[in-house]
Amino acid sequence: MAATQLTASPVTVSARSLASLRASSAKFSSFGTLKPGTLSQSHFRPLVVRAASVVAPKYTSIKPLGDRVLVKIKEAEEKTMGGILLPSTAQSKPQGGEVVAVGEGRTIGKNKIDITVPTGAQIIYSKYAGTEVEFNDVKHLILKEDDIVGLLETDDIKDLKPLNDRVFIKVAEAEEKTAGGLLLTETTKEKPSIGTVIAVGPGSLDEEGKVQPLPISTGSTVLYSKYAGNDFKGKDGSNYIALRASDVMAILS
């Protein structure tokens, strides 16, 4: 029996085909007709949901290597700023925690670069960074120092101190009206990609491990890539975004 070969060509399915999938074959413009039962389960890769790796109780410590750090993840917020209790399904995934261990650093060229974030520091990290591990019944995250967005010494995101080549921006308010004067609803307001820089990191490292200051200064109004960075909501209701300096496209004046 010849095997059915699937290609990466675009696939189109008509509404009528979708309605009759159970009773008949579906017409695909890319590779003809597929009869029910033609594709076996082996043709599809299963969806795997990865949970945190659990460290057995016999291990008493975790020592990150290289430029990695171990972070104790902050617990998810159980209430809104207005005091409303959130169900577990509505609680947002935390992006912050406390550094509990650090690696020995890394080497760039001939220079040894130590990790600049000390243990005990409260940090904010990129949303999808690192590997979760459960240690002593507490969730931790092992991630690279470069995945740390910044330091946060208070409980308000507006006080974030960005690290490395990160820039912290207060997002401009969305336009309330169109150019013709029509009032926009919340659902039709376009997400702005303009804001004011309120803090910048020390800079990125060059090939010799030396810090190169960023060409962006606080107070600048900038245009940045629409889908870059990590979004945050401040206690005052303002929107903020932390992104890399390379995602800033222009300075406006």
Long-range contacts of 48-56 (CB under 8 A, 24+ apart): 51/132, 52/132, 52/133, 52/134, 52/139, 53/131, 53/132, 53/133, 53/134, 54/133, 54/134, 55/133, 55/134, 55/135, 55/136
Q: Does domain 163-252 have CATH number 3.10.450.50?
A: no
In percent, the amount of the chain with pLDDT more than 90 equals: 56
C-alpha span between 50 and 183 (Å, rounded)? 45
Residue whose entry in the numeric block shows the structure tokens 């803090």: 199
pLDDT for the residue numbered 33: 47
- Domain positions in the chain: 62-152, 163-252
163-252: same fold as 62-152?
yes
User: CA 209: distance to chain centroid?
Assistant: 26
Confidence of residue 85 (pLDDT cuts 50, 70, 90): low
Task: Give SS3 for 98.
Answer: strand
pTM: 0.69
179-188: pLDDT as tens digits? 565 554 555 4
H/E segment holding residue 16: helix 15-19
Tokens of 56: 């057995």
Determine the CATH number of domain 62-152: 2.30.33.40
104-120 per-position pLDDT tens digit: 999 998 889 999 999 99
